[in-house]
Amino acid sequence: MTIIDIHTHAFADGIAPKAIEALEKSSGTKALLDGTTSDLLRSMKKAEVVLSVIQPVATKPAQVRAINTWASQIAGNGLLSFATLYPGQPDWEEEIEQIKRVGFLGVKLHPDYQNFDPDDRALFPMYEKLQAENLIVLYHAGDDISFPPPGRGTPQRLSNLIGHFPDLRVIAAHLGGFEMWDAVEENLVGKDIYFDTCYTFGCLKTERIVRIIERHGFDRILFGTDSPWKDQQEEIQNILHLDISDEAQRGILGENARTLLNLREL
């Protein structure tokens, strides 16, 4: 079975200790890894994960190019990274062109860390460009444990977004919206949007996870862990213990991501 983790985090070795310390403090959560790519690779080997996709977030426009340069350099040997983009940065169009030129497959956006609403019309030109370049967009969706609720990446706003941009390939993390799953079922389930599974087990009853997966369609569910905040091996077992078909398990754990990312060989 090919296992692809669509949602992981890692940092350059020089900043990883400081970044992890700051995130542990803001979230009140202890990281399970040290935040480096080498530690992520050790976790992958233990869990038999073939590919981990790193999802970087720039918290200010000035960080974007440096993060993307690092992200392009660490790709390979089981690691892939999306790019970062700061909504509203003055050179967003040039940055998207650079992202595409380098070969990134998508970008990660975080409404809370980056201070924006997903359906803000001021960002529509940026979305038009992302859609035209066929880049995937992964959003943090729902609340974030580092910020007081409510989070800005609500299911309603994501529904508005995909209504305006039907060809934009969107992944809503945390099964469509962390701690907003009522709104997920009301606004996103069944629509043309991907969900990832990160940070849902232990936060949501497994019966409801299965219900959302079945109502939404397992072919639009992607395995994600939010590593280093969750253990990859444990999260794989959580998927395997769900009362769903073997085909659904294979799709969620890797085949759906392989298709979305257009990966012929791993």
Read off the pLDDT band of 139 (50, 70, 90).
very high
Write out the H or E segment, with its range, that includes residue 172: strand 170-172
Name the DSSP class of 140. Answer: P
pLDDT surpassing 80 at residue 118? yes
Provide the residue range defining the domain that includes 195: 4-261
Question: Does residue 228 belong to any structural domain of this protein?
Answer: yes
- CATH at residue 253: 3.20.20.140
What pLDDT does residue 27 have? Answer: 96
DSSP state of 151: P
Question: Residue 131's closest CA among 192, 61, 60, 53?
Answer: 192
- Residue 216 in domain: yes
Q: Which residue has the tokens 């073997």?
A: 246
Whether this model's pTM surpasses 0.95: yes
Q: How far apart, in Å, are the Cα atoms of 202 and each of 169, 187, 242?
A: 28, 23, 13
Q: Is residue 146 part of a domain?
A: yes
Neighbour-count burial of 165, counting CB atoms closer than 10 A to its CB (0-12 exposed, 13-18 middle, 19+ buried): middle
pLDDT at 28 over 80: yes
Q: What is the pLDDT of residues 49-93, one digit of tens each?
A: 999 999 999 999 999 999 999 999 999 999 999 999 999 999 999
**Per the structure, how many domains does the chain have?**
1
265: pLDDT confidence band, cut at 50, 70 and 90?
Answer: confident
At 31 the three-state DSSP class reads coil
Establish if 48 belongs to a structural domain. yes
Peptide bond into 118 cis (omega under 30): no
23's tokens: 């995130």
Report which residue type is found at 86. Y
CA 62, 153, 196 angle in degrees (round to 5)? 100
Residue 81 and residue 68 in contact, taking contact as beta carbons nearer than 8 Å: no
In tens, the pLDDT along 95-107 reads 999 999 999 999 9
Domain assignment present for 266: no
Only one residue has tokens 């019966």, namely 207
User: Side chain identity at 101, as an amino acid letter?
Assistant: R
Residue pLDDT, tens place only, 148-191: 999 999 999 999 999 999 999 999 999 999 999 999 999 999 99
Query: Locate tokens 């359906």: which residue?
Result: 119
pLDDT (tens digit per residue) in 206-242: 999 999 999 999 999 999 999 999 999 999 999 999 9
For residue 211, is it within any domain? Answer: yes
* Residue 201 belongs to a domain: yes
**Pairwise CA distance, residues 221 & 256, whole Å:** 7
DSSP 51: E
| pLDDT exceeds 90 at position 264 | no
43-62 b/e (C-beta count within 10 Å ≥ 16 → b): bbeebebbbbbbbbbbeebe
Nearest to 191 by CA among 210, 204, 172, 208: 172
- Mean pLDDT to the nearest integer, 233-255: 98
